[in-house]
Chains A and B, each alone.
Chain A
Amino acid sequence: MSRSGRIRAEATAATRSFLRRRTAVFFTFFFPVLLVLIFGVVVRTGGTGGGLFALPPAYYVPGYLAVVVLFTPLSRVGSEVARHREGARFEKLATTPLGRAEWLFAQTLVNVGVIGLAALLIFVLVVAATGANVVLGARTLLVVPYVFLGVVLFCGLGAVLGRVADSQDGVIAASNGVALPLLFLSETFVQPELLPGWLPVWASPLTYFSRGVRAATYDPAGGSVAPNLIVLAALAGLLFAAGAVAIPRTD
């Protein structure tokens, strides 16, 4: 079987396994929806002149998308690595022609599909539920590569967490510990003026995702889409490679 055949076999098995875990499927989509409803519909502080959620709803589109782009790959790939370790699946795979990068790429493809759907759902929901005035046009399509690269990046990081943590519980705890600070300190929901100047928001890969998606969907944001995309692509390549190397092939 060719490389593409191996990846297809792995991705097919991973997709089936995921779709048959109904709880996982439900919460993969429900969690970001819940967030949109809480912060976009219930907590509406716009017009108070300051604080969180004081900007127009469209400003927060990158934040809502970041929730799925960040949390889902981290926890899914991390848990998958932990499950594979506990079930000696990597030990088995190490004696098959499937390479580590191929395995991670297959998992990433599954996540791209799942998160792509979730992102589309969120995008529509934000516009419908909050009346966000997003830019709709050819430029909006640039969100697609941002979501793709974001998923690749955090799948890589998820694989690293799966390697470092010693159990599925450990992976969930570690991914929450990594994701929560990233989510709120990367120009997603909290605008830069509200963050202390010394905070290195540039060090968070999610910052480039937020800036790029905002530039593509929110008119007042201004700025260029391409530079952030390039940085995100470079980081995605780096993290994917780190994730592939981190995948264990020995005990």
Chain B
Amino acid sequence: MQQAVVAEDVRRAYGDTVALDGVDLTVEVGEVFGLIGPNGAGKTTLVRALTGTTDAEGRVEVLGAPPRSVDRERIGLLPQEFSPPERLTARELVAYYGGLYEEARPVDSVLADVGLEDDAETWYEKLSGGQKRRACVATTLVNDPDLLVLDEPTTGIDPAGRRALWSLVERLADGGTTVLLTTHYMEEAETLADRVGLLAGGELVAAGTPAELVAEYGGEPRLEVTVEGDVRAATAALESAGYRAVETRGGLAVGGIAAREIGDVAGALDDGGVPYGALAWTQPDLEDVYLALTGTGVGSGGEPVDREAEPADAGTPATTTVRTGGDRQ
């Protein structure tokens, strides 16, 4: 398969601050690649390195050429903090950027793609936050690019708008467009991306399909138990039945539980005489991968949780104490 983007040992520092520390990355033609990572991880710097808008060390090739030599008719970029001229209408804005290319798509078609047909004559500054971001996305579609680079395209967009944009990206990908996007929304990366790369501290610490990443770093399925009685008694009841129970703010989390075992856990609680309210079974997802690999997460109360202090397979975002029960693996 051909590679749309190749980055080898890409480095970029701002003074003493290292933004990119030897990043290697490839994006195949037609692939949707999602970049995730905490604020300051280097996502935007990497996007800039790949689009030639920052001076980075290392080797970068985009569509077979160095970023600054690539045929600009073939790429589309949405910078993270992009703010176009505010007193142009959505239609004028799309027409303006379309006018910069040899061949541009019809303005109405682009506006329809981002759901702005009805607001085409509204000045950009009068659009809502989500509409503004969609108008910005429209400016990247106007040349029908082979490679689309979107730096946090759905930030500030409401859930319905976000899903509409996801559909658009999926349609573009189905049509063969290569998409590289950064996002803070794990669901977005998991939904859209064929492969996901996780940046932390300027390094690409993991890359693979969402399923591969979840399998390798996400931990186990778990059952959240809302305990209405004594949590310690509940923990003891589960441990005596051979389950590994971890105390959480709302009750317990039981790790390594398959869906078919939910009834067994409920039975163990009943046997121990422990009243409980709800059982919620969850599979690990990309967010668990993110939290596991970035080292810190945020507890449900908002306070940082040191992931190093937890067993990697516990997968509980708000653990205050850890009790290890019998091994059910």
Task: Please give the residue numbers on chain A whose beta carbons come within 8 Å of chain B beta carbons, in ascending order.
Answer: 1, 5-6, 8-10, 12-14, 16-17, 20-21, 86-89, 91-98, 249-251
**Inter-chain contacts of A21 with B (CB < 8 A):** 87
Most chain B Cβ neighbours within 10 Å, of A89, A91, A97: A91
Within 8 Å by CB of B100, from A6, A16, A20, A251, lies A6
CA distance A8 to B182 in the complex (A): 33
The reply to whether the CB of B202 lies closer than 8 angstroms to some CB of chain A is no
Most chain B Cβ neighbours within 10 Å, of A12, A21, A88: A88
7 tightest A-B CB contacts, nearest first: A9-B99, A87-B83, A20-B87, A88-B79, A13-B96, A95-B77, A96-B100
Q: In the bound complex, do residue B139 and residue A16 qualify as a contact, i.e. CB atoms below 8 Å apart? A: no
Stretch at the interface among B25-33, B50-58, B260-268, B293-301: B50-58
Q: In the bound complex, do residue A87 and residue B72 qualify as a contact, i.e. CB atoms below 8 Å apart? A: no
Closest residue of A by beta carbon distance from B140: A92
Main secondary structure of the interface of B (DSSP, over half): loop
The reply to whether the CB of B104 lies closer than 8 angstroms to some CB of chain A is yes
**Inter-chain contacts of A98 with B (CB < 8 A):** 100
The reply to whether the CB of B80 lies closer than 8 angstroms to some CB of chain A is yes
Within 8 Å by CB of A92, from B79, B99, B102, lies B79
Closest residue of B by beta carbon distance from A98: B100
Within 8 Å by CB of A97, from B72, B85, B88, lies B72
Most chain A Cβ neighbours within 10 Å, of B100, B104, B123, B143: B100
Q: Give chain A nearest CB distance to B145 CB in angstroms.
A: 9
Q: In the bound complex, do residue B53 and residue A94 qualify as a contact, i.e. CB atoms below 8 Å apart? A: yes
Q: In the bound complex, do residue A86 and residue B83 qualify as a contact, i.e. CB atoms below 8 Å apart? A: yes
CA distance A77 to B172 in the complex (A): 37
Closest residue of B by beta carbon distance from A6: B100
Q: In the bound complex, do residue B82 and residue A6 qualify as a contact, i.e. CB atoms below 8 Å apart? A: no
Closest residue of A by beta carbon distance from B52: A94
**Inter-chain contacts of A250 with B (CB < 8 A):** 48, 52-55
Q: In the bound complex, do residue A10 and residue B83 qualify as a contact, i.e. CB atoms below 8 Å apart? A: no
The reply to whether the CB of B170 lies closer than 8 angstroms to some CB of chain A is no
Q: Which of B33-84 contact A (CB under 8 A)?
A: 48, 51-55, 72-73, 75-84
Closest residue of A by beta carbon distance from B139: A92
Q: In the bound complex, do residue A89 and residue B83 qualify as a contact, i.e. CB atoms below 8 Å apart? A: yes
Q: In the bound complex, do residue B96 and residue A95 qualify as a contact, i.e. CB atoms below 8 Å apart? A: no
- Binary interface encoding of chain B residues 84-97 relative to chain A, with 1 for a CB under 8 A from any of its CBs, else 0: 11111000100111
Q: Give chain A nearest CB distance to B54 CB in angstroms.
A: 5
Q: In the bound complex, do residue B97 and residue A96 qualify as a contact, i.e. CB atoms below 8 Å apart? A: yes
Q: In the bound complex, do residue A251 and residue B48 qualify as a contact, i.e. CB atoms below 8 Å apart? A: yes
CA distance A88 to B81 in the complex (A): 6
CA distance A234 to B311 in the complex (A): 72
Q: In the bound complex, do residue A12 and residue B102 qualify as a contact, i.e. CB atoms below 8 Å apart? A: no
CA distance A6 to B55 in the complex (A): 26
**Inter-chain contacts of A93 with B (CB < 8 A):** 100
Q: In the bound complex, do residue A97 and residue B84 qualify as a contact, i.e. CB atoms below 8 Å apart? A: no
**Inter-chain contacts of A89 with B (CB < 8 A):** 82-85
CA distance A8 to B79 in the complex (A): 24
Q: In the bound complex, do residue A16 and residue B92 qualify as a contact, i.e. CB atoms below 8 Å apart? A: yes
**Inter-chain contacts of B101 with A (CB < 8 A):** 1, 96-97
Q: In the bound complex, do residue B53 and residue A95 qualify as a contact, i.e. CB atoms below 8 Å apart? A: yes
Closest residue of B by beta carbon distance from A18: B87
**Inter-chain contacts of B73 with A (CB < 8 A):** 97
Q: In the bound complex, do residue A13 and residue B85 qualify as a contact, i.e. CB atoms below 8 Å apart? A: yes
**Inter-chain contacts of A12 with B (CB < 8 A):** 96, 99
Q: Which of B146-198 contact A (CB under 8 A)?
A: 149
CA distance A1 to B104 in the complex (A): 8
CA distance A249 to B129 in the complex (A): 26
Q: In the bound complex, do residue B87 and residue A91 qualify as a contact, i.e. CB atoms below 8 Å apart? A: no
Extra contacts, 15 of them, besides A1-B100, A92-B139, A251-B54 (Cβ < 8 A), are A5-B99, A6-B99, A8-B99, A9-B97, A9-B99, A9-B100, A16-B87, A17-B85, A17-B87, A87-B83, A91-B77, A93-B100, A94-B52, A95-B75, A98-B100
Q: Give chain A nearest CB distance to B103 CB in angstroms.
A: 8
Q: Give chain A nearest CB distance to B2 CB in angstroms.
A: 20
A-B contact pairs, 22 of them (CB 8 A): A12-B99, A13-B92, A14-B85, A16-B85, A17-B85, A17-B87, A20-B87, A86-B83, A89-B83, A89-B84, A91-B51, A91-B77, A91-B82, A92-B78, A93-B100, A94-B52, A95-B75, A97-B101, A250-B48, A250-B55, A251-B48, A251-B53
**Inter-chain contacts of A10 with B (CB < 8 A):** 96, 99-100
Within 8 Å by CB of A87, from B54, B81, B149, lies B81
**Inter-chain contacts of B81 with A (CB < 8 A):** 87-88
Q: In the bound complex, do residue B79 and residue A1 qualify as a contact, i.e. CB atoms below 8 Å apart? A: no
